[in-house]
Structure 1
Amino acid sequence: MSAKKQSPLYEAPGRSGMRLVSEFSLPLERRLLGFVVAVDLFLIALHIVTGATLPAIPRLLNISFDFSLAETFGYGKWIAIIVLLLAAYRHRRLAILPSMAAVFTLMLLDDSLQIHERLGAERVEVLNLGATSWAKAQDIGEILVWGLMAALVLPIIAIGFVRSNAQGRRIGVVLVALIGLYAVFGGIIDVLHQPFTALPYGIQIADLLEDGGEMIVGSLILAHVAALSRHLRRAPPR
C-alpha cells in the first residue's frame, strides 16, 4: 500500500491488544520498490547473459563477487536503510529504530568486509572441520560465526523491544521477520550449495537463488523502511 495512507501496522492495537492477520499489510514505497527491483533484475540478467556467452563472468558483473555492481548496489541499500531508520528516530523516539539501525550496520559490515567468510575460514582451521554430505567445511565454519554474530545482535534487538512501546515492537517484529527472510537466502541456501553440485548447472542455480534472492529481499526491506520512515516523520512528534 502507499506510504501516504496509514497502515494497520502503525496504528494502535484495539482494546483487546490483538490484531487480526487479515488486517495486516506491509507498507511499501512502491515506486522505490519498482525502481530498485528493476535494477536488481537488470544486474541479474547481465550476470546470466555474460555467464552464457563468455568463458567467465567479468568480476564487475558477477553478482556473487564482493564490490561487483550488484554487491555495491546492495551496500547502498543497507546504507539507505540505516539513514532512514535514524532519520525516523530523530522524529519518533522509538528505541527499536536505532537498535535495528545497528543490526543493519552489522549486516553492511559483514557484507562488505566478508566477516563471516573470513572468520569461518579461521574456524575451519582452528577446529579442523571437515565437509559433510550437505555442506562444505567452509559453510560449517560460517554457520558457527553466524551463531556468534546472532549472540551479539539479539541483545541489541532485545533492548530495542524492551524500551519501545507496542507500536515500536510491531515495527521490530516486521523488520526481524524481513531479516529472517533475507537469512533464508544468505544463510540456508548458501550452506546448501553442496547438494546442488550433482545437478546440471547446479552451482550456478544455487548462486542465482542465493545472491538474487538476497538482492530482491534487500530491495523489499528498503522499500518498507522508506515507507516506515516517511510515516513516522509525518506523524506528530513524541
Structure 2
Amino acid sequence: MKIVVATHNEGKLVEIRNILTEQLSAAAQGIELVSAGSLDLADPAETGVTFEENALLKARFVAGATGLPAIADDSGLIVDVMGNAPGILSARWSGTHGDDAANNRLLLAQIEDIPDDDRTARFRCAAALVVPVESDGDGLGEFHETVALGEMPGTIVRHPHGMNGFGYDPIFMPDEQPQSAQDSGELLTSAQMTPEQKNAISHRGKALRALVPAVKALLAD
C-alpha cells in the first residue's frame, strides 16, 4: 500500500518511516511511503490556527490530489514565558519560512534575560492520517480522518549545541534524556541526540505511535 507523507522534507520522511517500521515490524513491509515533494505536489497554505487544523488540511490536500492515504504532521515550539509562542508560527518566526538559524537567534534574543528556571518549553505535534473514501460512482467522496497528539517538554538553553535534527533542536534540551546522558550528567539538546534517541522521546514520535492503530486498520482492510 502506498501512503503519501505531506512533506517536502526528505529528512522528515525518513524519520516517519523509521518510527512506523519500529512500531509495525513485519507489517511495515506492506507500506510504501513517498513524499509529496517527490510527486511534485505544491505545499498548501497553512491557514489553520492550531496544529491539528494544519495537519488535517495538509493531509486532506495530498489525499485529494492523489487519491491515496496521506499522513501529515504539524508541529512547533511552545515557550511558556512567551505566552505559548512561537507555536504554529515556529517555522517562520524570524519572517522567512524554514530559516532555522535565524529563528533560533531571534528566539534566544527574545528570552535572553529570562532566568534558567523560567525557560521551560515544549514541542507539540499533531499527526493526521487521512484516507479517501470512494463515493457511489462519483469518485472520491468523504475522508476518513484520524488525528493524534504528542508533546516533548524541556528547556531552552542559552546557546546552540549539536548538529543533528533541524528547527529548534540545537537550543532545546528535553526533560527526558538517554540513560547515558543521565549517567554522565551531561544532558543533551535534541540536536546532540542520535535519531534513535530523539525518536524514542520526541513529540512527533509520540504522535505517530498514537496513529499506528489506524494505520494497522488500514492495512487490514
- What TM-score comes out, normalization by structure 2 length? 0.30
Greater strand content:
2
Q: Which has the higher contact order (CA 8 A, sep 6+)?
A: 1
Bigger proportion of residues as helix? 1
TM-score by length of 1: 0.29
Tell which structure's C-alpha radius of gyration is larger.
Answer: 1
